Amino acid sequence: MKEKNVLPKFNRGKIIYKNVPLFHKSGELGPHLSKGFTKNEAIRLFETMLYIRFFEEMVIKLKSGKFVPYEGFKFIGATHLSIGQEAVAAGTMSVLNPDDYITSTHRGHGHTISKVLYRIYKMNREELLSYLGESDKGQEYDQLLDQAIHLHLFRTMAELLGKEEGYCRGRGGSMHIADFHSGHLGANAIVGGSMAIAAGAALSSLLLKEKKVVACMVGDGAANNGIAHESMNFASMLQFGEGFPVMYIYENNQYGMSGQQLGEVTAIKHLSRRGAAYNEKNMYARTESGMHVLAVRDAVQEATQICREGNGPVLLEFKTYRYVGHSLSDKRMTYRTAEEEQEWLKYDPIDLYSKELIKNDILTEKAVEEYKDRVVDLMEEITLEAAKATDPDPKTISEGLFSDSTSDDIGDKYRTVNFFRAKPKKFRRDSSGRILYRHAVIEALMEEMERDYRVVLYGEDVAEYGGAFQATVGLFDVFGRRRVFNTPISEAAIVGTSLGAAMTGLRPVAEIMYIDFMLMAGDQLGNQVAKTKYMFGGKAKIPLVIRTTIGGGKGYAGQHSQSLEAFPAMFPGLKVAIPFSAYDVKGLLKTAIRDDNPVVFIEHQHCYVEKDVVPEEEYTIPMGRGIVRREGKDVTIISYSFQLKACLEAAEILEKEDGVKAEIIDPRTLVPLDVDIMVNSIKKTGKACVIVQAPGKGSFGEHIIRRVQNEAFDYLKAPIKLVSAHEVPPPMAAPLEHENLPGPEKIVKNVRELLAR
């Protein structure tokens, strides 16, 4: 039912934008002390900036060889430092709750150090003992606190040096650090890559009513990336009656790499004005000094309150500066001047804040220097430990790629008890017990959404309209807008937000209308969804299903008809299902939704109107278990999805006209791939054809051939034959499209040629 009419209105007027505050927050300590900011809090803020600064200065020493932990030590890996930007990291994390979320950047050491430190600072004695993994032996609280800080910094340095004890077991390194226990969802080496993830985490917080805030830390370069627009637009949707609790925090250090934000790669002075594009509140955008830690703290504290009250998202820009190059190999003076650097050095955030501490009698000059000396000594100590920590065993290289858990045994804990306008029901079966494929999809979604309220469905046109192929009809009426909702036409945002949501408590089913459109989300799928679990040490669970369709044969031409199943299958970390029958689509979709790993679930548009027997009783189908669609003894035909229909028709022709009995194998899932069922068939037949709708070059059919030949070479009487589309984009004209797709006649011809060898 339509909720809001869009009526024609053409009244003359003008759009008036609200003002964007510039540098309203103070960096002076005195006013903060008078409002309850304690001496201990003031010192913690100072210590945090020192930990960041001297951690990164140690990295420079390691890279340059000025600090050598042991003879033969070699520093490897890309490293991007945030020296000069410490105030943004420390000020932001100082006001977040320990269970609030952050996403970070390739320049994220400061965010990592600060986020976990402020979790540790707020731990009581029992929590510190748990963090340290120790029993209570009567240690003083301050002693335990120091040990926890030491352990945290050691884990951070160990990750940077690629050690097993690192936060991500050395799988991520400097640019990819995460600590999910502390709400740190990961540093990201793709500029802007985490912005949709942050929106997804905020969506999770909103729908689960957790009141957690997400701080999305990005650089000025990210503001010019497409995912920035898609994410902020997604996070500004009004349909839930409250705003997304996410803060987009731009650390504007003036340079993307060497590209200068001001007067070169943009036409605006302040990135905060971009907030005016996304909602009537300008996203509460403001620009503040990123060199004054208390100004940062104030701005973020205000923004978190806005978010917790349901009025997000918020856009904050902090003007700051990095005193080093983009990376340790960057010759920064090729695009800077000495004058510019000297002027910014006058605003060193640690020096500015030190003066405030001294001015307000929190610390003496001597005490300031003593703090610095102590932190420098600590960094040498933890670096020596980290350098001598454990190198990962190559035998463990595959560990952490997939979770081995599911939500099968949740019982009634998450069962949906309240429905929107209708209650779940089964589709009416025909006299043979059959229903349409698309109805089987709906039933699977209906049952899993009733079984687990954490399952949400979203994508383009999936709500009241029921999806482009009517495969989500009725779900909106049962579960309502907070469980089934439309998104902007933003494929990257759909995929990226579903990852963030899956990492933080939801079990999203995200729909990409055509697999052709998945290329719009290539980074989010391949660099984010596929890599997040492994890259962050195998610690994340990602219960995510991305439903999409393939087509062909409908005259939709080159951008709506491709068979791109090889695209998601090439990324380690993704499972790929591609069911043919209504029975299989229901059983596999239920399995995929319960899986704690990301699954790309590919449905064929022609299958939606095909019928099959589908039991009303509960059932699932395991991933990685193929099926024999037709028994035979003379030749093996391997195919999947709707292409199997042509294979079955071809097998009938071959038996009728040639007396050939073809065995047809359907793997049902591409990752994991049931190679055994194919090999066992070839042991009987000795010859095999692989049939795919895609062009042969780089197709998944080529992968099947490689895997099968490796396992069944001794049983093959001839090379495996690949039957595929032509090496052209899908054409529109009916004669050309018919020629392009491997129909029964083409399959029969190729099988006959194979059998004649």
| Topology at the third CATH level for domain 29-388 | Rossmann fold (3.40.50)
Residue 678: strand, helix, or coil? helix
Query: What confidence tier does 182 reach under pLDDT thresholds 50, 70, 90?
Result: very high
Res 257: pLDDT: 85
State how far the Cα of 446 lies from the Cα of 725, in Å rounded to an integer.
36
Spatial CA neighbour of 470 closest among 421, 427, 437: 437
Res 136: pLDDT: 87
Contact 70, 334 (CB under 8 A): no
Which of 119-128, 451-460, 549-558 comes out lowest in average pLDDT? Answer: 549-558
Q: Residue 1: pLDDT above 60? A: no
Residue 581: strand, helix, or coil? coil
| Tokens matching residue 498 | 């579903």
CB-based contacts of 76: which residues, under 8 Å, 6+ apart? Answer: 162
Res 261: pLDDT: 86
Active site residues: 491, 560
Torsion of the alpha carbons at 699, 700, 704 and 710, rounded to the nearest 10:
70
Fill in the amino acid letter for 628.
V
pLDDT averaged over every residue in the chain = 96
Percent of the chain exceeding pLDDT 70 equals 100
Do β-strands 627-630 and 662-666 pair in parallel, antiparallel, or remain unpaired?
antiparallel
- CATH 3.40.50.970 intervals, the chain: 29-388, 434-613
Order of strands across the sheet that contains 455-459:
484-486, 455-459, 507-512, 545-550, 599-604, 575-577, 669-671
Res 89: pLDDT: 98
Which residues partner with 690 through β-bridges? 638, 722
How does pLDDT run across 458-483, given as a tens digit for each residue? Answer: 999 999 999 999 999 999 999 999 99
Please report how the helices 141-160 and 365-387 are oriented relative to each other, as an axis angle in degrees rounded to 10.
50
Q: How big is the CA angle at 178 (ends 323 and 536), to the nearest 5 degrees?
A: 120
State how far the Cα of 691 lies from the Cα of 681, in Å rounded to an integer.
16
Phi, psi of 8 (to 5 degrees): -70, 125
Res 392: pLDDT: 96
Contact 282, 17 (CB under 8 A): yes
Place of tokens 């349909």: 239
How many other CB atoms are found less than 10 A from the CB of residue 73? 13
Res 756: pLDDT: 94
CATH architecture of 627-755: 3-Layer(aba) Sandwich (3.40)
State how far the Cα of 642 lies from the Cα of 331, in Å rounded to an integer.
55
**Burial label, 656 (beta-carbon count in 10 A; 0-12, 13-18, 19+):** exposed
State how far the Cα of 231 lies from the Cα of 242, in Å rounded to an integer.
17
State how far the Cα of 32 lies from the Cα of 702, in Å rounded to an integer.
66
How does pLDDT run across 602-658, given as a tens digit for each residue? Answer: 999 999 999 999 999 999 999 999 999 999 999 999 999 999 999 999 999 999 999
Start-to-end Cα distance in the chain:
62
Torsion of the alpha carbons at 166, 171, 176 and 182, rounded to the nearest 10:
-50
Spatial CA neighbour of 328 closest among 143, 78, 554, 128: 78
State how far the Cα of 725 lies from the Cα of 701, in Å rounded to an integer.
11
How does pLDDT run across 510-562, given as a tens digit for each residue? Answer: 999 999 999 999 999 999 999 999 999 999 999 999 999 999 888 899 899 99
Res 600: pLDDT: 98
Mean pLDDT, residues 363-383:
98
Q: Residue 95: pLDDT above 80? A: yes
Percent of the chain exceeding pLDDT 90 equals 94
Contact 430, 582 (CB under 8 A): no
- pTM, to two decimals: 0.96
CATH number corresponding to 434-613: 3.40.50.970
Alpha helices per DSSP H over 671-743: 675-685, 700-712, 734-740
Res 513: pLDDT: 97
Query: What confidence tier does 4 reach under pLDDT thresholds 50, 70, 90?
Result: confident
Cis previous bond, 394, omega within 30 = no
| Tokens matching residue 199 | 């929106």
Cis previous bond, 245, omega within 30 = no
Residue 247: strand, helix, or coil? strand
Res 614: pLDDT: 98
Order of strands across the sheet that contains 635-638:
627-630, 662-666, 635-638, 688-695, 721-725
- CATH 3.40.50.920 intervals, the chain: 627-755
Residue 351: strand, helix, or coil? helix
How does pLDDT run across 52-86, given as a tens digit for each residue? Answer: 999 999 999 999 999 999 999 999 988 899 999 99
